[in-house]
Structures are given as C-alpha cells and as structure tokens.
C-alpha cells in the first residue's frame, strides 16, 4: 500500500508556522557530535527518516545517543578515533547526504563498513565521492557505475589533496573535508560556485580550524573536535513550500518562524523576489552559528523570469517548489544550468514536468532545466516517484488548481518533513491522506 495525498483546490495560507529542523544541519550535528570529545546537546533536531538514518549509523558504530525527544538529542561523543566497526550494513535509507558524508568520514577509520540505501539511493551516482576519496588513499568498492552499496575498506592512512570540484556539490565538498580530518597534511577543496557551508561552520563551532578563502576551503588533518551545543534552525527547504503556497494563493499571509537564512541557502528567496513575491525578513538573529529570521509571505502576483544560473546551487533543493510558482506566474520562466536536478531523489526535471503537464500546465523539460509558461491548470492524478519534495510541491499547486489533485507515493515526505500534512492543514491547505 502506498500513501497518497488528496488535496482539494483553493484556500489560502495563514497563521504562524514553524517547519521542522534543517536536514543538512541535523545530519552534521550527529556526525560531529559523535566524533567530538564530550557531550553535545542538540535542539530542534529534524526527526525525519534521513537524519534518523545517520543517527542509527552512529549508534551502530558504538556511539551512545539519547533521543530524539521533541527535537532534543544528547550525543556522548567518542572522540576522533572512538568509532567501532559496525556489526552489520549501515542503511542510509533515502539519504544521499548520509551516504556521501559517511563515505568521507569512514574512509580513514581503519575498519571496514558497508553503506547501502533504498531503491532510489541505490540508483544515485557515488563516483563523485569515490574518485576524490580514492585519490586520498581510500579504498571504496561500489556496484556497477559507482552505484551503492559502497564497501569502505580499511587502509593504512589517508593523505591530503587539493581538489577542484567538478560539480557544485556540498555533499562532495563535505565528504572530502571530513576525510581530510583523518588525512596527513592539508586537504583543500575548491568549488566552481558557492554551495551550502554548514560543514565548515559546524567544524568551526566544534573548535576545528577551517581555512576559508573565497571558493577554496582547507583543513589540516589530525585535529580534534570539542563538544558544542547546537540549536538547529527551521529548514528553509521545507519552508519553501509555504513560501510558494502563500505567494500563489490570493488572501495568504503567513509567518514562517526561525527559518535558517544562511547565505548559501537563500536562492529560493531571491528567485521568488525576482518573480515579484512579497517576502519580508523579520527578527534576524543567530542560532547556533547560523543566521535565522522569521519570514512573512503575502500573496502577490508573480511574473515569469529567467533564473540566474548563479542562484542554482543556492536553491538546488527548492526547484520543485519554484516550478509550481512558475506555473502560477504571468509569462515564461526559464531555468538552465541545473542538470544536477536529474540525479536527486528522483529526476526532478522530468518528474516535475510530467506532474505539471498531467495537470494541464505548460512545462517543457530541457537537458539542464525547464521552460514553464504560467496559466490556469486543472486537478488530476500525479506521481511523486517517491520524492518527498515533488510530493510537497505538487500539494501546494492545489491552492490554484481547477480541481482536486491526487499525488501518489508520498510516504517519503517523512524523510524531511514529518507532520507535513498536519502542519499544512493548520496553515490552510486542504490536504488529506489516503
């Protein structure tokens, strides 16, 4: 039995909403907390399946972790060399972040570990981490074409590299830097465009020196991490669905509380503003080394835009939602330079084009993006292909649809946004499960 959403058309979004904790930061809090000396207390932790997969992996390597209990997690760090060989395979579920960051972190541990995942994750490319980690001295075996499962074997030691990232990917950057903590000498990564820097920020918060110079970041191996409490902001990637919903639905006026506005994550705010959205930031402050704000979003007529390519890595997870905004905008929206969308939890270019077209919207997929002409669309049946963000984006599309939208295969929304249906209903979306 698969879970479907049925979303009635119309309505508007309002009230105050705090979406769950940031997924990227939640993963990293478990990883660095486990390797630190001392006790790390995390609040606002995302109790979604992806972050829980990371938590379970560290428990399987001997780390005592209490919780999660209403977002509170207590990690009893074992120090840089305190992890134990896991008794079984480490299951990363649907989570690319777990698998890629763990690959780097485990490469220098001195024991063997196997990482696997669900059907979607086992189709995703891992050579992007296997290649640089291999050049540091790691020994990582994979199935055909560098697909999972990955077998990370014990090696004598790693050495630092100077790596020019071929794709703008925070997961690859982080994998190399985490391996670099265990490598002899200096490990540097240069990115083609800025990507999320939560790993760098959290390493610094745990007392590890990180050398940052524009697009280049370096660490010197052999240091240590000191436990540090972490308050996880609300995830801007989850807030994005409500930003788009409120922008497109007449009468909407919603306040999204405590949203992380790290400059490497705010592409969606910039894109929506370019389209004419009415988004204002209030109460800007710092939470656990990360900037946060309350974001007020009021309905406003949107216009189609050509999305600047430099914003693509800064909004990489938000394009399913942005496509829904585009389908509701006047004129054409053009996205290019976003081929990475084809290797996310689903092929987000094809799957979103199929979904929007099933509703009668005009969407033309291209190899590296999409052209969408806004206008009226109907209800209908759409497939999320088990991709959490596709399911939530298409749910918001119902706010302006001509009839109900049924979205199939929505169970994976629990990977990043547990409680989505309840929270969305409270805010005004007429969504039910079947």
- Residue 432 C-alpha from the chain's centroid: 25
Distance CA 8, CA 395 (A): 9
Residue 317 contacts ligand S3P per CB under 6 A: yes
Min dist. Cβ of residue 63 to ligand S3P (A): 20
Residue 389 contacts ligand S3P per CB under 6 A: no
Distance CA 317, CA 320 (A): 8
Residue 388 contacts ligand S3P per CB under 6 A: no
Which range binds ligand S3P by CB under 6 A, 2-10, 163-171, 375-383, 405-413?
163-171
Binding ligand S3P (rule: CB under 6 A), the pick from 7, 170, 220, 307 is: 170
Binding ligand S3P (rule: CB under 6 A), the pick from 26, 78, 140, 196 is: 196
- Residue 410 C-alpha from the chain's centroid: 17
Binding ligand S3P (rule: CB under 6 A), the pick from 24, 40, 109, 238 is: 24
Which range binds ligand S3P by CB under 6 A, 114-122, 169-177, 182-190, 391-399?
169-177
Looking at the Cβ atoms of 171 and 333, the one nearer to ligand S3P is: 171
Pairing of strands 405-408, 431-433: unpaired
Residues 94-113 that bind ligand S3P (CB under 6 A): 97
The Cα angle at residue 68 between residues 2 and 121, in degrees rounded to 5: 40
Min dist. Cβ of residue 169 to ligand S3P (A): 3
Non-local (6+) Cβ contacts of 92 within 8 A are 53, 54, 57, 98, 99, 102, 115, 116, 117, 121, 148
**74 near 117, Cβ under 8 Å?**
no
Which range binds ligand S3P by CB under 6 A, 170-178, 185-193, 296-304, 376-384?
170-178
Token match 């698998």: residue? 99
The encoded tokens of residue 80 equal: 């840089």
Residues 336-365 that bind ligand S3P (CB under 6 A): 340
Binding ligand S3P (rule: CB under 6 A), the pick from 244, 249, 271, 316 is: 316
Which range binds ligand S3P by CB under 6 A, 2-10, 31-39, 168-176, 213-221?
168-176
Distance CA 316, CA 23 (A): 14
| Backbone φ, ψ for residue 269 (5° rounding) | -65, -45
Of 50, 91, 118, 317, the active-site residue reads: 317
Which range binds ligand S3P by CB under 6 A, 166-174, 175-183, 186-194, 304-312?
166-174
**Taking the alpha carbons of 233, 236, 240, 241 in that order, is the dihedral positive or negative?**
negative
Q: Is 118 part of the annotated catalytic residue set?
A: no
Residue 75 contacts ligand S3P per CB under 6 A: no
Residue 171 contacts ligand S3P per CB under 6 A: yes
Min dist. Cβ of residue 166 to ligand S3P (A): 12
Distance CA 263, CA 392 (A): 24
Distance CA 432, CA 434 (A): 7
**333 near 374, Cβ under 8 Å?**
yes
Token match 């660095």: residue? 32
Residue 238 contacts ligand S3P per CB under 6 A: no
Annotated catalytic sites, by residue?
Answer: 317
Q: Which residues bind ligand S3P (CB under 6 A)?
A: 24, 97, 169-171, 174, 196, 316-317, 340
């Amino acid at each position: 039995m698969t879970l479907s959403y049925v979303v009635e058309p119309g309505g508007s979004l309002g009230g105050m909403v705090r979406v769950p904790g940031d997924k990227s930061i939640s993963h990293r809090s478990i990883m660095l907390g486990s390797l630190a000396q001392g006790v790390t207390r995390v609040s606002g932790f995302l109790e979604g399946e992806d972050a829980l997969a990371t938590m379970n992996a560290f428990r399987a390597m001997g780390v005592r972790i209490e919780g999660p209990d209403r977002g509170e997690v207590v990690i009893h760090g074992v120090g840089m060399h305190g992890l134990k060989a896991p008794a079984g395979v480490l299951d990363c579920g649907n989570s690319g972040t777990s698998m890629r960051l763990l690959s780097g972190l485990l490469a220098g541990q001195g024991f063997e570990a196997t990482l696997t995942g669900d059907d979607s994750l086992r189709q995703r490319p891992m050579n992007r981490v296997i290649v640089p980690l291999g050049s540091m001295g790691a020994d990582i075996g994979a199935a055909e074409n560098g697909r999972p499962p990955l077998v990370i074997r014990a090696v004598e030691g790693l050495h630092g590299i100077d790596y020019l990232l071929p794709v703008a990917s925070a997961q690859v950057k982080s994998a190399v830097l985490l391996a670099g903590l265990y490598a002899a000498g200096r490990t540097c990564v240069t990115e083609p465009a800025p990507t999320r820097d939560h790993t760098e920020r959290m390493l610094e918060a745990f007392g590890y020196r990180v050398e940052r110079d524009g697009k280049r970041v370096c660490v010197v191996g052999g240091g240590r991490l000191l436990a540090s409490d972490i308050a996880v902001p609300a995830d801007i990637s989850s807030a994005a669905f409500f930003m788009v919903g409120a922008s497109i639905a007449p009468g909407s006026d919603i306040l999204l509380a405590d949203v992380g506005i790290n400059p490497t994550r705010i592409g969606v705010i910039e894109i929506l503003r370019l389209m004419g959205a009415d988004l204002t930031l209030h109460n800007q402050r710092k939470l656990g080394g990360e900037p946060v704000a309350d974001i007020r979003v009021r309905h406003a007529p949107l216009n189609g835009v050509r999305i600047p390519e430099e914003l693509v890595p800064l909004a990489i997870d938000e394009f399913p939602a942005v496509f829904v905004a585009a389908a509701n905008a006047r004129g054409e929206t053009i996205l290019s330079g976003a081929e990475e969308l084809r290797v996310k939890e689903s092929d987000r270019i094809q799957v979103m084009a199929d979904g929007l077209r099933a509703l009668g919207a005009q969407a033309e997929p291209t190899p590296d993006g999409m052209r969408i002409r806004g206008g009226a669309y109907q209800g209908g049946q759409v497939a999320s292909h088990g991709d959490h963000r596709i399911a939530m984006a298409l749910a918001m599309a119902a706010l302006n649809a001509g009839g109900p939208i049924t979205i199939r295969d929505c169970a994976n929304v629990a990977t990043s946004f547990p409680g989505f249906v309840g929270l969305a209903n409270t805010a005004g979306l007429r969504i039910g499960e079947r």
